[in-house]
Each structure stands twice: as structure tokens, then as C-alpha cells.
């Protein structure tokens, strides 16, 4: 009987822990799902859980110099440091990422007020060059080139007619970052460039020190008529 009782107790313990594991898994499913972080704030779409700040004293962005009390009061912690901009960090309210129950719909007006309070608290501290929400930006420029619109420039955006859908260089995603600049000069090392091509003619770099087609090295750099570049294979 003792063996039976011991076995029964062990089975009950296994059932108990199994139930606990299932319960924890269910709770994790309910609590671990992120509500959409995007809300309207002063007419713009922002992530209410994040704030971007740049420390006036860049050294304060390091862990040992962080204003821990201020960040704790704001309910924020450092989640990322921008290496390209000294002193710029992303702060996030990680606790705000949990949902208390399935189907939870946050009060976005309340979230906007909460974000505003955090931003004002940080700004009033005087420790930062700037304090901003994490805005979401949408590109406003659209390509109007007929060859792009009708699909002939399928290498930039491939709709599948012709070719294979999405077999392209994702130009539209790149344009969300930049649409280029005439201040940037690209050197092409290849068999040549047809500079008279309709897509390139207005974009080509021009050596203003040369007079095209006169057969003279006007800028005295050792190359004759190098208006758009040189022929290095002579």
C-alpha cells in the first residue's frame, strides 16, 4: 500500500506540475503578445513605448553614468545606442509591451498623455540636447518614369509581368531611406557607360575643365576630352 500511495503521490505531483506548465504557457500567450505600439501623437504616428534622446554629455549614455533615478521615474530603460550619433540612445517602456488579457485594446488617448508626460519629464531635466518620440515616416515621393510604372524597369520593382514577382532590388524600400543626391558622384569601373542614354544623360558627371570634342587636354590632367570620364585601356 505504501508503494501504491507513493506512486499515486508522484503521479499527482506530475499532474500538478504539468498543469502549472500549461497554465504558465497560457499566461505567457496572453501576457506576451504585443499590442500595436503605434498611436497618434500631435498629429503624427509614433511608437508610444519609445523615446529617442541625445545626451548633452555623451558620456552619460554609458551604463555607469546613466541617470538611473530619472529613467526609473519615467519608466524607461536603454534598449539601443546609436553608434553613428554620439550620445543618441533609444529608451523604451518594456513593461508597457505586455497585454493583461486576450483581446485587450489600449486607450490610445491615455497612452499619448503618458508618452507626453515622459517626454516632458526628460526635457525638463536639462540633460538632453533633444527628446523626441519614435516617429514613423512614410515616403511621399513616387516614381513617375513611364518605364518604371509600366514594368519595363523590372529590376527596380518586379510585379511579375514580365518575370518573377519580387525578383528585384527593392528600390522602393531603398527610397524610404534616400532618393539620392546630386552631390554624390559614383565612379563606374567597367567596359564603359553610354552617357547618352535617356536615363543617364541628365545625371552624368561633367568635367567642366574640358571642352568636348576639341581633341585637346584642356585641364592638363593627362587625358584628352575626359568630359564624363576616361578610357583607361589605351
| pLDDT tens profile 192-205 | 888 898 888 988 99
The CATH number linked to 67 is 3.30.70.80
Claim to verify: residue 78 and residue 166 sit in the same structural domain: no
Could you report the per-residue pLDDT of 4-16, keeping only the tens digit for each? 343 344 434 433 3
Claim to verify: residue 12 and residue 28 sit in the same structural domain: yes
Claim to verify: residue 47 and residue 75 sit in the same structural domain: yes
pTM of the complete model beyond 0.75:
no
State the residue range of the domain holding 23. 1-32
Claim to verify: residue 7 and residue 27 sit in the same structural domain: yes
Could you report the per-residue pLDDT of 86-136, keeping only the tens digit for each? 999 999 997 755 544 566 677 889 999 999 999 999 999 999 999 999 998
Secondary structure (DSSP) of 145-175: -HHHHTTS-TTT---SSSS-TT-S--HHHHH
Among the three residues 76, 102, 135, which one is the final residue of a domain in this structure?
A: 135
Claim to verify: residue 47 and residue 88 sit in the same structural domain: yes
Claim to verify: residue 219 and residue 186 sit in the same structural domain: yes
Claim to verify: residue 24 and residue 50 sit in the same structural domain: no
List the beta bridge partners of residue 142: none
For 36, half-sphere exposure in the C-beta direction (CA atoms, 13 angstrom radius) is: 9
List the beta bridge partners of residue 78: 91
Claim to verify: residue 80 and residue 50 sit in the same structural domain: yes
Backbone angles phi, psi at 106, to 5 degrees: -70, 155
CB-neighbour burial class of residue 115 (10 A; exposed 0-12, middle 13-18, buried 19+): buried
Q: 32 or 170, which is more confident? A: 170
pLDDT above 60 for 17: no
Q: What is the pLDDT of residue 29?
A: 37
Amino acid at each position: 500500500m505504501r508503494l501504491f500511495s507513493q506512486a499515486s503521490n508522484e503521479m499527482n505531483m506530475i499532474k500538478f506540475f504539468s498543469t502549472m506548465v500549461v497554465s504558465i504557457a497560457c499566461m505567457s500567450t496572453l501576457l506576451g503578445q504585443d499590442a500595436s505600439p503605434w498611436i497618434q501623437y500631435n498629429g503624427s504616428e509614433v511608437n508610444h513605448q519609445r523615446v529617442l534622446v541625445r545626451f548633452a554629455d555623451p558620456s552619460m549614455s554609458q551604463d555607469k553614468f546613466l541617470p538611473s533615478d530619472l529613467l526609473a521615474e519615467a519608466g524607461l530603460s536603454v534598449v539601443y545606442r546609436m553608434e553613428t550619433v554620439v550620445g543618441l540612445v533609444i529608451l523604451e517602456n518594456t513593461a508597457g509591451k505586455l497585454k493583461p488579457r486576450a483581446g485587450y485594446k489600449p486607450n490610445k488617448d491615455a497612452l499619448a498623455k503618458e508618452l507626453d508626460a515622459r517626454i516632458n519629464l526628460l526635457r525638463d531635466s536639462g540633460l538632453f540636447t533633444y527628446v523626441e518620440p519614435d516617429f514613423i515616416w512614410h515616403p511621399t515621393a513616387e516614381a513617375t518614369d513611364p518605364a518604371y510604372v509600366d514594368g519595363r524597369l523590372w529590376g527596380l520593382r518586379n510585379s511579375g509581368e514580365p518575370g518573377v514577382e519580387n525578383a528585384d532590388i527593392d528600390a522602393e524600400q531603398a527610397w524610404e531611406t534616400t532618393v539620392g543626391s546630386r552631390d554624390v558622384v559614383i565612379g563606374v569601373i567597367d567596359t564603359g557607360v553610354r552617357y547618352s542614354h535617356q536615363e543617364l544623360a541628365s545625371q552624368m558627371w561633367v568635367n567642366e575643365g574640358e571642352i568636348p570634342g576639341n581633341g585637346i587636354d584642356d585641364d592638363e590632367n593627362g587625358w584628352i576630352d575626359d568630359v564624363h570620364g576616361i578610357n583607361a585601356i589605351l
